[in-house]
């Protein structure tokens, strides 16, 4: 192996830049330096950090183009503005948010590959979902993360499938309600109900879209009995967060609640189709899950009396698998 190859591999493996970006976002540096520049000594006093190390951090990120030196100190560049504001990028990089905290579990990747278990539990002493339950701030940041993730694709999801064939849809684990709101807005003849452990954000989402007469939200776990008798049960970005045992339990609850001719609709990235290999590892480390392939979905669902009717690519990143009850 040549020295150029070795250096390339070492740069790929280095944790310096990924952690430097996360620390900068957590400290709020891109927003703080967006308008007027400042020197490390001044910033350090405002932020309560040590000035010399802060200068080292800014120096490295300046070499990468996120900041620049000006007459008044360091200032965020146009490129660095991608780290500003309430965006998916900033939410995922901030170490104080659910997403940023979760990615630190990658230090336990060896454990996850060895055992198939989530590294998050090993690092923090409890699972990701238990963490969100115990810490409202983490839960709020996770809802923002999901809103950002779905905002661009929700209209595609609503337009890419014939939701209008269903009079009632239950969004199981629907979080902030972004997906269900888009579906109901595009299909005025459909009514919806959302089930999640925390439905305060979903209620606001429905109100913002003027859907209070057709959408409601009820607190509950998808491991417990679900609202019964709906035409379709939607699982959007749910099953990939769980191992086969727990994913099967969610499917079983949907089958139990659905009408005899009802449908279970799984929307997420499918391995080998829309799924990404880096997300496979992230889901493994954080949840012990993965982006399943179509054959894996078919086998998992069959155990619970579901037959795969078809697969539709409904957005740039997600596919919809339609299951009927056999």
| Beta pairing class for 232-236 and 263-268 | parallel
Indicate if 111 belongs to the active site.
no
Residue of 187, 240, 246, 304 marked catalytic: 240
Distance (Å, whole) CA 73 – CA 37: 5
Closest CA to 166 of 257, 87, 230: 230
What CA–CA distance (Å, rounded) separates 195 from 218? 5
Question: pLDDT tens per residue, the chain (326 residues)?
Answer: 677 888 889 888 999 999 999 999 999 999 999 988 899 999 999 999 999 999 999 999 999 999 999 999 999 999 999 999 989 899 999 999 999 999 999 999 999 999 999 999 999 999 999 999 999 999 999 989 988 888 888 999 999 999 999 999 999 999 999 999 999 999 999 999 999 998 988 999 999 999 999 999 999 999 999 999 999 999 999 999 999 999 999 999 999 999 999 999 999 999 988 788 999 999 999 999 999 999 999 999 999 999 999 999 998 889 999 999 98
Segment holding 157, helix H or strand E: helix 154-159
Q: Which helix (H) or strand (E) holds 193?
A: strand 191-196
- Rounded (10°) CA dihedral 9, 13, 14, 18: 130
Residue 100, both tokens: 């940023």
For residue 30 the two structure tokens come to 């891109």
Domains and CATH numbers, the chain: 3-83 (1.10.10.10), 88-141 (1.10.287.1350), 147-272+288-325 (3.40.50.150)
How far apart, in whole angstroms, are the C-alpha atoms of residue 129 and residue 303?
A: 26
Cα–Cα distances (Å) from 292 to 102, 106, 248, 283, 310, in that order, read: 21, 20, 13, 11, 15
Indicate the pTM of the whole model. Answer: 0.89
Q: Give the number of other Cβ atoms within 10 Å of residue 71's Cβ.
A: 6
Answer yes or no: are the C-beta atoms of 180 and 192 closer than 8 Å: yes
């Amino acid at each position: 192996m040549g020295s150029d190859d070795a250096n390339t591999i070492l740069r790929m493996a280095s944790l310096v830049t990924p952690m430097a970006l996360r620390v900068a976002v957590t400290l709020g540096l891109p927003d703080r330096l967006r308008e007027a520049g400042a020197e490390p000594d001044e910033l350090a006093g405002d932020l309560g950090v040590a000035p010399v190390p802060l200068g080292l951090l800014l120096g490295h990120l300046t070499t990468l183009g996120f900041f620049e030196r000006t007459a008044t100190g360091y200032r965020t560049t146009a490129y660095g503005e991608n780290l500003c504001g309430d965006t998916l990028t900033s939410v995922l990089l901030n170490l104080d948010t659910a997403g940023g905290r979760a990615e630190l579990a990658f230090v336990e990747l060896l454990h996850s590959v060895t055992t198939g278990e989530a590294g998050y539990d090993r690092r923090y002493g409890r699972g990701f979902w238990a963490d969100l339950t115990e810490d409202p701030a983490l839960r709020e940041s996770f809802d923002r993360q999901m809103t950002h993730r779905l905002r661009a694709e929700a209209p595609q999801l609503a337009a890419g499938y014939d939701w209008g064939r269903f009079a009632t849809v239950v969004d199981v684990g629907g979080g902030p309600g972004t997906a269900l709101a888009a579906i109901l807005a595009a299909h005025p003849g459909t009514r919806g109900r959302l089930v999640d452990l925390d439905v305060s954000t979903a209620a606001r989402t429905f109100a913002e879209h003027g859907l209070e007469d057709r959408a409601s939200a009820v607190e509950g776990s998808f491991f417990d009995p679900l609202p019964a008798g709906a035409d379709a049960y939607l699982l959007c970005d749910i099953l990939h967060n769980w191992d086969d045992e727990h994913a099967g339990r969610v499917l079983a609850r949907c089958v139990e609640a659905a009408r005899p001719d009802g449908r279970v609709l799984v929307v997420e990235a499918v391995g080998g189709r829309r799924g990404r290999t880096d997300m496979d590892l992230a889901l493994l480390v954080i949840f012990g899950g993965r982006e399943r392939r179509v054959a894996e979905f078919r086998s998992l669902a069959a155990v619970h009396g579901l037959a795969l009717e078809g697969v539709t690519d409904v957005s740039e990143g997600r596919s919809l698998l339609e299951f009927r009850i056999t």
